[in-house]
């Protein structure tokens, strides 16, 4: 019966092409707008590491200005000072811990065949890779001694490895970073956490860095930060050593705390540290150290903006308006076919069978509208990409969203079609048949 | 086959009540060919709609093929219409976008027959009305008489127990009307009960029995036997 109803539905759409196109267009437009905003919103609010998001904690210490908080309301700064980060790295409580910042190098192949290119790098600890479950294509992370002694080893992104080594296993080979030779120790596979939760100071949706070097190199090579550096008091900073001693905040710190006990213990460690620092005249604000798991951290840092929420709400309202119009058009269409309905009823169709026939037609309109909506959404996402560089990763429809678009289209059109389909079967067949 | 006892039907609007049928009683035996006549507004159509389960009634009792249908649900009435009743309308009432084959197929679809069974029935019905070669034509490509024959094929395909015909020749010229009437007589001869509403006295005379309806009541009828006798004498 479904295939029969589908055939009738197709014939009906073809019989009234303008009306059909109007309805398909209305649904397509509503779905297109909804899917554009929903895609961006869904990826914005995506949990980038769901399997560990409740054990990974961003660390905040309130070392800020006594007269005003870093952010409202009473929000501590998102980054730590170098020396505070170093102090927390001494704790044995977390299963893993990492202090890090974004830097950059002039990258070149060892033979200097390719021109040097400025690339972004993450200066970090070896735990970074295990903590954030970074997949390796070749090799692996450096060992703990490299963190302490600042060995010149590097982990390349897949893209960088493809560029320099044509995608081959480059472990053991050498690259040049700022004219110094680094031994390749690992190549990571495709890894694009969205949002880039581990460092939200330089673009929530930016690509991960192209290479990774041990944190121990920071002081030794005076690596500059390519990320944000914030301060609240006048400090004389004439050298890299001054910067490391200063109250400037620029280091991201994460800890892996697998249970409530370790969380409590690490919070105790942080509080103890800050209380000691207070005795030395630092941390003038009230004690306010924080541990935020990944979802909380994304919320604190307002990765999903209020604007995008409002925009999504408006787009669904727009879809509702489109559907209301479709209700009217469907009513007109089905009531226009009242004579046919009456005849089918006279020939033995039950109300439910006619309702099914009408709903299949509505469903077909919904599916066609959904397909049109997907095309419009793809166009809309291209426009988003063109407008906002950072949204490159956000403005992509994946399989799930494609299915969601079709389900949304089918579901909303059926919802819009229920009343007209029901109304159409209420006609009394006797009154509409051409009798005497 | 069809037994109506003290049926009444009132159509109500805010201002007026119209008694379409009052104390309407009628029996139609299995295999009968009954003509229902009467002036416009006399209640013929209401009777036909009630008899064909297209309309409900207010009071009385109605048995169709031995089954009390007075209080059936809408779905049950639809099933009965589909399985036991065939309709032939004055205006043919074919679906213009469907081919002849698909038009005949409509009631069979709702009956739940398999594709093979439907095809068999459709081909047989079209053959019976002499339109097997026009199966893929659209109604607009057929003459009025052919369209009515398609409607008859549609009614016959479900092998109904009773056929309700509402002015089946009203839109046809005399030659085509005669062909359609002969077809109905042939169907009746094969055992299908026929109830036909008509204005045409000549058509009415060809039935086994005439029922005259006036002001929603049966006012006169000719007994089956005498009608049969009259018919035979006319034929002679």
Both structure tokens of B130: 């002499």
3-class DSSP assignment, residue A106:
strand
- Going by C-alpha positions, the residue among B9, B30, B27, B18 that lies closest to residue B161 is B30
pLDDT of residue A393: 64
Q: Which chain B positions have a beta carbon within 8 Å of A429's beta carbon?
A: 54
Of A4, A344, A434, the CB nearest to B91: A434
The C-alpha of A21 sits at a distance from chain B's nearest C-alpha, in angstroms, of: 20
Place of tokens 């019989």: A15
Q: How far is CA A418 from CA A363, A415, B119, in A?
A: 10, 6, 33
At residue A4, the pLDDT reads 92
With 90 as the cut, is the pLDDT of residue B16 above it?
Answer: no
For residue A435, give how far its alpha carbon lies from the nearest alpha carbon of chain B (Å): 6
Percent helix, strand and coil across chain A, each rounded to 5? 50, 15, 35
Residue A392: the pLDDT is: 65
Residue among A110, A134, A136 at smallest CA distance from A124: A134
Cβ-count burial B58-88 (b if 16+ within 10 Å, e if not): eebebebbeeebeebeeeebbbbbbbbbbbb
Which pLDDT value is given to residue B45? 86
Whether the predicted pLDDT of A199 surpasses 80: yes
For A213, list phi and psi in degrees, rounded to 5.
-130, 160
Q: What is the pLDDT of residue B176?
A: 79
Residue A92 DSSP SS3: coil
pLDDT at A406 (0 to 100): 83
Looking at residue A394, its pLDDT comes to: 64
Cα B125 from Cα B104, distance rounded (Å): 8
Q: Is A161:A214 a contact under the CB 8 Å cutoff? A: no
Query: Is a pLDDT exceeding 80 seen at residue B138?
Result: yes
B200-228 pLDDT tens trace: 888 888 888 888 888 888 886 654 445 44
Are the C-beta atoms of residues A76 and A64 closer than 8 Å to each other? yes
Q: What's chain A's average pLDDT? A: 90
**pLDDT score, position A42:** 80
Contacts of A349 in chain B (CB under 8 A): 78, 82, 110
**Chain B partners of A340 at a C-beta cutoff of 8 Å?**
95
Two tokens, residue B176: 């085509």
The string of DSSP codes covering A169-193 is --TT-EEEETTEEEEEEEEE-----
The predicted-structure confidence for A45-65, as pLDDT tens digits, reads as follows 888 899 999 999 999 999 999
Contact B152, B119 (CB under 8 A): no
pLDDT higher for A386 or A170?
A: A170
Q: Do B111 and A348 lie within an 8 Å CB cutoff?
A: yes
How far apart are the C-alpha atoms of B209 and B196, rounded to whole Å? Answer: 10
Taking the CA of residue A387 and the nearest CA in chain B, the distance in Å comes to: 49
What is the mean predicted confidence (pLDDT) over A342-349? Answer: 90
Tokens 């980038």 belong to A48
Helix (H, G, I), strand (E, B) or coil at B60: strand
* Predicted pLDDT at B228: 47
- Which residue in A330, A345, A364 sits closest to A19, CA to CA? A330
Q: What is the pLDDT of residue B225?
A: 44
In angstroms, the CA A163 to CA A257 distance is 37
Runs of H (alpha helix) within A192-305: 217-221, 240-245, 260-279, 294-300
Alpha carbon B125 to chain centroid, angstroms: 16
CB contact under 8 A, A350 and B89: no
Lowest mean pLDDT among A10-24, A37-51, A69-83, A283-297: A37-51
Q: Residues A210-237: what's their mean pLDDT?
A: 92
Of A15, A18, A40, A9, nearest to A366 by C-alpha is: A9
Beta strands B209-214 and B67-68, pairing class: unpaired
Q: Where are the beta strands (DSSP E) in A237-379?
A: 252-256, 290-293
Q: Is the pTM higher than 0.90?
A: no
Instruction: Note the pLDDT tens digit of each residue in A76-129.
Output: 999 999 999 999 999 999 999 999 999 999 999 888 888 899 999 999 999 999
- Which uninterrupted H or E stretch holds B8? strand B2-12
DSSP assignment of B148-211: HHHHHHHHHHT--SEEEEESTTTTS-HHHHHHHHHHHHHHHHTT-EEEEE-S-HHHHHTSSEEE
In chain B, residues with a C-beta closer than 8 Å to the C-beta of A345 are 54, 78
Q: In chain A, which residues touch B (CB < 8 A)? A: 1, 4, 11, 15, 340, 343-353, 428-430, 433-436
Q: A188-197, A265-274, A351-360, B174-183 — which is least confidently predicted? A: B174-183
**CA distance linking residue A128 with residue A101, whole number of Å:** 12
In angstroms and rounded to an integer, the radius of gyration of the C-alpha atoms of chain B is 18
pLDDT at A273 over 80: yes
**Pairs from B233-236 (Cβ < 8 Å, separation ≥ 24):** B234/B205, B234/B206
Structure tokens that stand for A121 in this block: 């790098």
Please, what is the average pLDDT of chain B? 85
Q: Give chain A's radius of gyration (CA, Å).
A: 30
Write down all domains in chain B, each with its CATH number in brackets.
28-57+68-235 (3.40.50.300)
Residue B19, classed as helix, strand or coil, is strand
């Amino acid at each position: 019966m479904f295939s029969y109803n589908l055939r009738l539905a197709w014939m009906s759409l073809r019989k009234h092409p303008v009306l059909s196109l109007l309805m398909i267009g209305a649904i397509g437009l509503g779905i297109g707008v909804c899917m554009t905003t929903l895609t961006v919103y869904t990826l914005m609010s995506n949990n980038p590491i769901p399997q560990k998001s409740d054990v990974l904690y961003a660390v905040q210490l309130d070392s800020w200005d006594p007269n005003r908080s870093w952010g409202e309301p009473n929000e501590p700064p998102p980054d730590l000072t170098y020396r505070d980060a170093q102090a927390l790295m001494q704790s044995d409580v977390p299963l893993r811990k990492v202090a890090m910042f974004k830097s950059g190098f002039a990258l070149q192949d060892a033979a200097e065949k390719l021109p040097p290119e400025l690339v972004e790098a993450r200066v970090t600890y070896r735990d970074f890779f295990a903590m954030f479950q970074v997949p390796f294509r070749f090799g692996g992370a450096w060992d703990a001694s490299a963190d302490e002694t600042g060995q010149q080893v590097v982990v390349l992104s897949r893209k960088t490895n493809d560029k320099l080594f044509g995608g081959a296993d480059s472990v053991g080979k050498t690259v040049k970073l700022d004219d110094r030779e680094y031994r390749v120790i690992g190549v990571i596979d495709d890894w694009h956490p969205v949002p880039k939760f581990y460092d939200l100071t330089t673009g929530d949706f930016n690509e991960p860095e192209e290479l990774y070097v041990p944190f121990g190199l920071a002081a030794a090579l005076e690596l500059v930060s390519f990320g944000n550096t914030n301060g609240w008091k006048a400090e004389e900073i004439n050298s890299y050593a001054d910067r490391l001693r200063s109250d400037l905040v620029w280091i991201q710190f994460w800890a892996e705390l697998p249970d409530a006990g370790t969380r409590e213990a690490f919070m105790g460690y942080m509080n103890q540290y800050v209380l000691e620092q207070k005795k030395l005249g630092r941390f003038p604000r009230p004690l306010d150290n924080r541990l935020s798991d990944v979802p909380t951290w994304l919320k604190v840092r307002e990765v999903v903006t209020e604007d995008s929420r409002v925009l999504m709400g408006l787009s669904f309202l727009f879809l509702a308006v489109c559907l209301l119009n479709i209700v009217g058009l469907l009513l007109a269409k089905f009531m226009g076919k009242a004579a046919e309905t009456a005849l089918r009823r006279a020939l033995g169709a039950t109300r439910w069978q006619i309702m099914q026939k009408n709903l299949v037609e509505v469903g077909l309109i919904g599916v066609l509208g959904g397909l049109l909506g997907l095309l419009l959404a793809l166009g809309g996402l291209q426009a988003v990409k063109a407008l906002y560089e950072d949204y490159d990763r956000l403005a992509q429809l994946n399989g799930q969203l494609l299915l969601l678009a079709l389900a949304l289209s089918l579901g909303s059109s059926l919802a819009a079609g229920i009343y007209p389909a029901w109304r159409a079967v209420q006609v009394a067949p006797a009154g509409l048949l051409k009798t005497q | 086959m069809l037994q109506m006892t003290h049926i009444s039907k009132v159509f109500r609007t805010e201002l007026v009540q119209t008694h379409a049928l009052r104390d309407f009683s009628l029996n139609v035996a299995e295999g009968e060919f009954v003509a229902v006549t009467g002036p416009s507004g006399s209640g013929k159509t209401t009777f036909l709609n009630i008899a064909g389960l297209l309309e409900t009634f207010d009071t009385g009792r109605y048995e169709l093929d031995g089954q009390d249908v007075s209080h059936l649900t809408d779905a049950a009435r639809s099933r009965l219409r589909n399985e036991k009743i065939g309709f032939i309308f004055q205006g043919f009432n074919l679906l213009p976008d469907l081919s002849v084959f698909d038009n005949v197929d409509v009631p069979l679809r709702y009956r739940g027959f398999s594709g093979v069974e439907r095809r068999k029935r459709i081909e047989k019905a079209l053959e019976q009305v002499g339109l097997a070669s026009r199966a893929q034509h659209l109604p607009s490509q057929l003459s009025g008489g052919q369209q009515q024959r398609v409607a008859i094929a549609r009614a016959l395909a479900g092998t109904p127990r009773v056929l309700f015909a509402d002015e089946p020749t009203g839109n046809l010229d005399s030659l085509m009307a005669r062909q359609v009437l002969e077809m109905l007589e042939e169907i009746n001869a094969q055992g299908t009960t026929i109830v036909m509403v008509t204005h045409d006295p000549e058509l009415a005379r060809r039935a086994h029995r005439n029922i005259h309806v006036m002001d929603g009541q049966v006012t006169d009828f000719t007994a089956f036997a005498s009608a049969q006798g009259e018919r035979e004498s006319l034929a002679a």
